Amino acid sequence: MSLENYEPVAVRIDKFWKQYPNGRILTDLVEFTAERVIARAEIYTDREDTRPAASDFALEIQGSSNVNRNFHLEACVTSAIGRALATLNFQGDPTKLGADARPSREEMSKVQRMETSNPGGGAVTVTKPVGSGTASDKQKWAIKKMSKELGKLPPANLDSLSKQQASDLITALNTEISDGKAAEHDEEEPF
């Protein structure tokens, strides 16, 4: 795997601004804890659009690499932007990469770090993760309901979320709802 074949997110962003100078790129932290960050990026081809043309999520674990020891938030937001831009076809050269053109250089660098840090020294074993497959109708319903409660639009890529991504998003939305309710109680006068 040669990283030079993969397009950096900065190049994707530059291409986007050249094609859509009146667009906008918005990011939102879905979850931010000491251990991990989940970010969502929304891409609008015109700043007046009310719905994004594309959106996607990214997850970074604090301390999972040298970069993520201190910059896991920044890496997560960059990844989310790169993934959302890939949805709009701002991606690597498919003539060189075929179906693998979607990942950014940053994402493939993470994959490469994971492969080289394999303590067994042998081939990396990839297993089907628990919760793989697409999100269930019940998960999609819950995401829509909680998004509405928060006054947000559900993710544009709701139908393509995996079960695990949907589960993570539901957890983050629940936390956001709980935090909002806790903040309402903090503002009330006691007795």
- Cα atoms found within 13 Å of the Cα of residue 75, Cβ hemisphere only: 22
Dihedral Cα 165, 166, 172, 175, nearest 10 deg = -150
Sign of CA dihedral 172, 174, 180, 185: negative
pLDDT at 47: 92
Q: If DSSP codes are grouped into helix, strand and coil, which group holds residue 138? A: helix
* DSSP H stretches of helix in the chain: 9-19, 66-70, 72-87, 94-97, 105-116, 137-149, 163-187
Q: How far is it, in rounded angstroms, from Cα 187 to Cα 183?
A: 7
pLDDT at residue 50 tops 90: yes
Spatial CB neighbours of 157, under 8 Å, sequence gap ≥ 6: 54, 55, 56, 87
Q: Any idea which of 24-33, 42-51, 73-82, 131-140 has the lowest mean pLDDT?
A: 131-140
Q: Any idea which of 4-8, 113-117, 178-182 has the lowest mean pLDDT?
A: 113-117
pLDDT at 65: 63
Q: Supply the pTM of this predicted model.
A: 0.54
Per-residue pLDDT of 87-138, as tens digits, reads 888 876 555 544 455 555 566 565 555 555 544 444 433 333 334 467 888 8
Per-residue pLDDT of 7-23, as tens digits, reads 788 888 999 999 999 99
Q: Any idea which of 34-43, 109-118, 153-162, 174-183 has the lowest mean pLDDT?
A: 109-118
pLDDT at residue 151 tops 60: yes
Higher pLDDT, 182 or 51: 51
